[in-house]
Amino acid sequence: DAVAPGGLGGTYAGNPIACVAALEVLKVFEQENLLQKANDLGQKLKDGLLAIAEKHTEIGDVRGLGAMIAIELFEDGDHSKPDAKLTAEIVA
């Protein structure tokens, strides 16, 4: 009792307008070199955060991919104790 070809799908499954829009977005990514720009920006940010981490032992790790960067914050000098208070202060 298999479903006939094309019988399963949804609003987002192969919608021609959505596919054309996605292809245009990919063209813009290529034309404007957005992936390289994100990688360059991410590296600048990561380098800056690593320089700050050298002076602040609360920063336990700096990592990321492209412009999506994360840092881990710990109680001063003890990288086994995450610092929720410091994190909340920075996020606020």
Chain-wide mean pLDDT for the chain? 89
Kindly list the structural domains of the chain, giving each domain's residue range(s) and its CATH number in brackets, ordered by start: 34-91 (3.90.1150.10)
37-61, pLDDT tens digit by residue? Answer: 999 999 999 999 999 999 999 999 9
pTM: 0.69
| Alpha-helix runs per DSSP H in 1-83 | 16-31, 34-55
Which run of H or E residues covers position 85?
Answer: helix 84-91
